[in-house]
Amino acid sequence: MGTLFPMKHVLTFLAAALLATGASAKIVTKPVAYEHAGVKLEGFLAYDDEKVSSAKKAPGVLVVPEWWGLNDYAKSRAEQVAKLGYVAFATDMYGAGVVTTDAKKAGELAGQFYGKPLMAERAAAGLAQLTKSGLVDEKRVAAIGYCFGGATVQALAYSGASLAGIVSFHGSLIAASPEAAAKNKAKFLVCHGAVDPFIKPEELAAFTKSMNDGKFDYQFVSYAGAIHAFTNPKADEVAKANGLVGGIGYNAAADKRSWAHMRSFFTEIFAAK
């Protein structure tokens, strides 16, 4: 006859086992100093040390922030990506420690990149840091970006960067030139606020036409009722502070759905060949 083990001891043992299992998985985060074109930058690397190592490489995801700079929101998104089992690197576009909550200042910072090669070049410097981590399967790399960052990942793809795919969340839309289409290697997922007042109908039409003319593999998803910055829980607060109420705002449903669409997209583009 077996020895009876008191139920309270069984429960204690199971609870301890569950805690130990949860504790073994740890999201490692660290600042990464680097430089581009004479500008000192500091990115943010995040990965799950249980799932990823130099001997067990994983897909990599570059995260490009909104025009506010590399703030806590962008870093939190990198950590969320890391929790999915990928290696994430939130890139610095402006310079170490350069962030703002002022829309005028943000416009000035972002304005130096739009329509210029510097946009893709600065993002490529971040992409290089991601792959230099030694943790990434370089054949399975993607880039995601928010607002300004959404436009940036488009420009990066158009430059011919080795990307399996890009995801633009409420990003400005950059129509692809025939030259850009010829260089592009990435599949596109564009997550768009259906009533985003900052994206004009003619911009949307030009972007879609360029995707079709260039024979891009793209998905364009519009989320009902969503405006600009719909993934950022602090967007309403920022809108009030900058007189942008009705222009930018959080939309929980669109945030949840777009993240699910991104996860499905990653499953597709990172599938073993």
**pLDDT, position 15:** 45
d(CA 25, CA 161): 32
Q: Is residue 227 part of a domain?
A: yes
CATH of residue 255 = 3.40.50.1820
Q: How confident is the model at residue 273 (pLDDT cuts 50, 70, 90)?
A: low
Q: Do the bridges between strand 87-90 and strand 58-64 make them parallel or antiparallel, or are there none, so unpaired? A: parallel
Q: Is residue 5 part of a domain?
A: no
**For the residues 138-148, what does the mean pLDDT come to?**
98
Q: Is residue 54 part of a domain?
A: yes
Indicate whether 244 pLDDT > 60: yes
d(CA 204, CA 174): 9
Q: Is residue 189 part of a domain?
A: yes
pTM as predicted: 0.91
Q: Is residue 51 part of a domain?
A: yes
Q: Is residue 104 part of a domain?
A: yes
Is-contact 164 127, C-beta < 8 A?
Answer: no
Q: Is residue 18 part of a domain?
A: no
Kind plus residue range of the DSSP H or E element containing 202: helix 201-213
Q: Is residue 9 part of a domain?
A: no
Average pLDDT, the chain: 93
Enclosing domain of residue 38:
26-269
Q: How confident is the model at residue 162 (pLDDT cuts 50, 70, 90)?
A: very high
What percentage of the chain exceeds 70 in pLDDT?
90
**For the residues 208-232, what does the mean pLDDT come to?**
98
Q: Tell me how many domains the chain contains.
A: 1
